[in-house]
Amino acid sequence: MASIVAFTAPRICRTFTSRSISSSVARFAENNAPRPPRPIQDSTSALAYKSSQRHRPPPLPATDLPRLRSAEEAVTNILYNTPPPSLQPFKKHVLNCLVQNEPGVLARVSGILAARGFNIDSLVVCSTEIRDLSRMCIVLSGQDGVVEQARRQLEDLVPVWAVLDYTETRCISRELLLAKVSILGPEYLEDQLIGGPSHDPRLVNKQSTDASDTAVDPTLESEITLAQNFEHSADRQPSHSTSDSATSASSTETTAPTPAPAPLTPSEVLRLKHQHMHAISTLASQFGARIVDVSENSVIVELSAKTSRVEAFLSLVKPFGLLESARTGTMVMPRTPIGQPEEEEGDDVKGPVDASLLPPG
């Protein structure tokens, strides 16, 4: 009996040891397995992130102020003059804000900028690849020191994760433009603007024709003519000769309105539309734009480019007759630097060569 127990005891110990090792390996694998990030429940997570990344900020940029004045000069300036402004120039700044995706963040950010007197040139807000994170791209003009103070004040808000200044960073900036351009020419632009959403000038011409067909009372017409002559009498140059006054009076009475241009035939209208559309299409292709909609009297052009290029395209397309235009704000993304390959040490060695080390001959 003792021999049987002595024989089975090592087997039981080995079995127990192997099971304990396998269970410990399984627990270790569970602890080290990759897990999804913990969901962000509220905006206080931004506070925890900023407290963990807290570092001493650099000093504010120095502002170029005038020299120090004496007490007499300071009192004189307060009483009789305006305070001296800062000599630092104004320039355009691009701020990129990473904020919590929750209601009210945009109002708080814009309220801080408005309280400091900034006029926001453009503001783009959109969601990112992370569900609870949004990105704001703000373009404004101001001095470096004042903008840096506003940036730090924005970064102290609870729902704001970080505020980056991309003013001196190499970035890719793009802006989207949708422009509705007339294909009838600038002569019909005013009529198209009055013609309603369809931008049809024939509606305005029809209304004017109907108004001209209505009969006018001759007494009312004579009174209108008399009032017009009385208004323009002060503009006439005094004349000492009776013949000159008679000639001017007769010329005023015989002045007739200029006749309206002859209406175009349907073939001429089609030819005119085709020429204008071809010119707009050629100009759009030069700027990398494309026509996304064609109607009877206008086309819509879409352009995605830098702000300066968008403004140049608008100035060139305006003579055709710009009916409407809509622009998004500037969107910015920094460039990724490209690593330079390490040069071999032999290529770096330059200078005079020792003649004693050269082979004979």
In terms of domains, do 274 and 300 share one? Answer: yes
In terms of domains, do 151 and 96 share one? Answer: yes
Residue 21 falls within a domain, yes or no? no
188 vs 322: CA distance, rounded Å: 11
Residue 65 falls within a domain, yes or no? no
Task: Give the domain range for residue 310.
Answer: 173-194+266-337
- Quick one: which H or E segment has residue 141? strand 133-142
Contact 321, 332 (CB under 8 A): no
Q: Give the pLDDT score at 181.
A: 93
Q: Give the pLDDT score at 116.
A: 86
In terms of domains, do 164 and 272 share one? Answer: no
- The CATH number that applies at residue 159 is 3.30.70.260
Is 105 exposed, middle or buried, given 0-12, 13-18 or 19+ CB atoms closer than 10 A?
buried
Q: Would the pLDDT of 242 be above 50?
A: no
Counted residue by residue, the chain has a size of 361
Number of domains in the chain: 2
| Residue after which a domain boundary falls, among 133, 168, 203 | 168
In terms of domains, do 162 and 178 share one? Answer: no
Interior/surface letters 159-195, b for 16+ CB within 10 angstroms, e for the rest? bbbebeebeeeeeebebbbebbbbbbeeebbebbeeb
Q: Would the pLDDT of 351 be above 60?
A: yes
In terms of domains, do 160 and 96 share one? Answer: yes
Residue 323: count of CB within 10 angstroms of its CB: 17
In terms of domains, do 281 and 163 share one? Answer: no
Residue 355 falls within a domain, yes or no? no
Q: Give the pLDDT score at 178.
A: 96
Contact 140, 93 (CB under 8 A): yes
- Quick one: which H or E segment has residue 78? helix 71-80
- 133-142: strand order across its sheet: 120-127, 133-142, 91-100, 160-165
SS3 82: coil
| Residue after which a domain boundary falls, among 168, 203, 219 | 168
Write the CA distances from 160 to 78, 128, 151, 152, 168, integer angstroms: 40, 14, 11, 11, 22
Residue 86: count of CB within 10 angstroms of its CB: 13
Residue 305 confidence class, pLDDT cut points 50, 70, 90: very high
Statement: the pTM of the whole predicted model exceeds 0.85: no
Contact 63, 145 (CB under 8 A): yes
Among 270, 276, 271, which residue's Cα sits nearest to residue 322?
276
Phi, psi dihedral angles at 202 (to 5 degrees): -65, -30
Q: Would the pLDDT of 165 be above 50?
A: yes
The per-residue pLDDT for range 2-29, each reduced to its tens digit, is 555 455 555 555 555 555 666 665 666 6
Provide mean pLDDT across the span 287-314. Answer: 93
